[in-house]
Amino acid sequence: MHANIEHLWKLVDARAPAATALATAVWSVPELNFAETQSCGLHAKALHEAGFHVTRGVAGLPTALKGEAGSEGPVIAFLGEYDALPGLSQQADTATRQPLPGNGNGHGCGHNLLGAGSLLAAAALKDWLADTGLPGRVRYYGCPAEEGGAGKSIMARAGAFTGVDTAITWHPGCFAMVFPPVSLASQRVDFTFTGRSAHAAAAPHLGRSALDAAELMNIGVNYLREHMSPTARVHYAYLDAGGDAPNVVQARAVVAYSIRDVNLSEMLALADRVRLIAEGAAIMTETTVMRTVVSTMANLLGNQPLEQAMQLQFDRLGPPPFTATERTFATAIRATLDAQQIDAVFRALNLPVRPDIAVCDTVIPYLPNRGRSMMGSTDVGDVSWIVPTVQALGATSAVGTPLHSWQMTAQGCSTLAHIGMIHVAKAMAATGAALLYDKTLLEQVRSTHESQIAKHSYISQMSDDIP
């Protein structure tokens, strides 16, 4: 690695005030899937001010954007997000539940930090390239709708990541570490049942209940659980139960399904079994069913040389420089969590439980198979099948804080969150610099990715009805 790595870290520090201001501004305007208009605009403004050429409406998505700097050399991309979640509005910097007035949205997954931190790393790496004179191009992708909309999946299939040599991103959390490259392939599907309404007392025999069909489908899927892979996950929620009048046979019902498994092929096979159950429920009730695939995400594809390169940068940095102020706030947040929630964070990453720590005080060592029990889904998976991709975890919250919680929202503007964001931006920027400086490393990363995708299939497994 180039000897002036400390200079790169100083460049991150120099741009940190602008990044923390961006993170706070996005926190203040929490917007949901594909509606991140203000948040996207804030990122576009920040990119312009940092000297990037900005393209809006990437892949036909109004709230997707790309910033690019440089004209030659390998392309290092940083992936950002800025969507919020419903129902997680919360006053900042307090350890008591205090929802804010307004739409009820909140950054309970820390994406206000995610976008700002990735942009910070991209801007610092751009500055570093200008100072060193090395060839290389830097891109920042603002990616909408990670929370269920799979914005990156849409962007990937539209060719938005063409020409990228490596993609780097991160996610807010409790620890400073390389994010384990494990996730579940996922599909969100809506099933709309249509029947015939009737007077439930006078002429029930004339009705064909869409609600009955939806309930029979759910029963069928629940029986399927005995016969699916132990790694599979199926969840459902009613979007429309047919209304609130019990004396009318419901003519319409909509149920949303989230179907997951360890890889794309197994997930798609399971989704097909769920489809057959829905069709069977429609036959039993003499209704019809329409299936709408809302989104599909592939599982993550790991790249050990790239992950090891990022680990090296974390090891050089050491743990985030938290002070007594951050430890005090984290301790107050932890008092709102129970021991089971705190233990779950350690166990998900195969770490020994340490109930004594309130904030991350070490860099977690790299293990290729760490986190096998932490099986969520992310649209970063689709990017990882197209270009070599690595993710970090940043220590931006009290140890034990669950994602998608009011506690996460409460910490989103704190010095704890900002210190952790700046710390992980340094690790990401330094990883990008290592790839641009060391051509051998970049070639190892490329060849590893090529050998990985040769063992599997991605595009060929995508059904025609996947958006």
Q: Is residue 81 very low, low, confident or very high in pLDDT (cuts 50, 70, 90)?
A: very high
The predicted structure's pLDDT at residue 26? 98
Confidence band, pLDDT 50/70/90 cuts, at residue 345: confident
Q: pLDDT-derived band of residue 350, with 50, 70 and 90 as boundaries? A: confident
Query: Could you name the CATH architecture of 185-297?
Result: 2-Layer Sandwich (3.30)
Beta-sheet strands, E only, within 154-261: 166-173, 177-178, 185-194, 233-240, 252-261
Instruction: Give CA 25 to chain center in angstroms.
Output: 20
Question: Which letter, b or e, does each residue of 407-420 get, where b requires 16 or more Cβ atoms within 10 Å of its Cβ?
Answer: bbbbbbbbebbbbb
Q: Identify which has the larger pLDDT, 18 or 463.
A: 18
pLDDT of residue 463: 46
Angle value at C-alpha 132, between 317 and 393, nearest 5 degrees: 30
Q: How confident is the model at residue 241 (pLDDT cuts 50, 70, 90)?
A: very high
Q: Is the pLDDT of residue 223 over 90?
A: yes
pLDDT at position 1? 45
Please enumerate in sequence order all residues whose Cβ is within 8 A of that of 296, keeping only pairs 6 or more positions apart, or say none. Answer: 150, 153, 185, 186, 187, 188, 462, 466, 467
* b/e burial code for range 310-329 (CB count within 10 A of at least 16 → b): bbbbbeebebbebeeebbeb
Residue 376: pLDDT band (50, 70, 90) is: confident
Weakest-pLDDT range from 248-262, 384-398, 402-416, 450-464: 450-464
Which is more confident, 182 or 358?
358
What whole-number distance in Å separates Cα of residue 282 and Cα of residue 286?
Answer: 6
β-bridge pairing 166-173 and 389-395: parallel
Query: Looking up tokens 């870290």, which residue turns up?
Result: 9
pLDDT at residue 372, rounded to an integer: 60
* pLDDT 10s digits, 141-191: 999 999 978 999 999 999 999 999 999 999 999 999 999 898 999 999 999
Same fold flag, 5-183+300-460 and 185-297: no
What angle in degrees, to the nearest 10, is found between the helix axes of 264-285 and 210-224? 140
Cβ pair 207, 196 in contact under 8 A: yes
Are 184 and 261 in contact by the 8 Å Cβ rule? The answer is yes
Fold of 5-183+300-460: Aminopeptidase (3.40.630)
Whole-model pTM? 0.92
Instruction: Check: CB of residue 388 under 8 Å from CB of residue 446.
Output: yes
Predicted local confidence at residue 458, as pLDDT: 58
Q: What is the pLDDT of residues 411-454, one digit of tens each?
A: 999 999 999 999 999 999 999 999 999 999 999 999 999 998 88
Domain boundaries, the chain: 5-183+300-460, 185-297
Helices (H), 168-228: 210-224
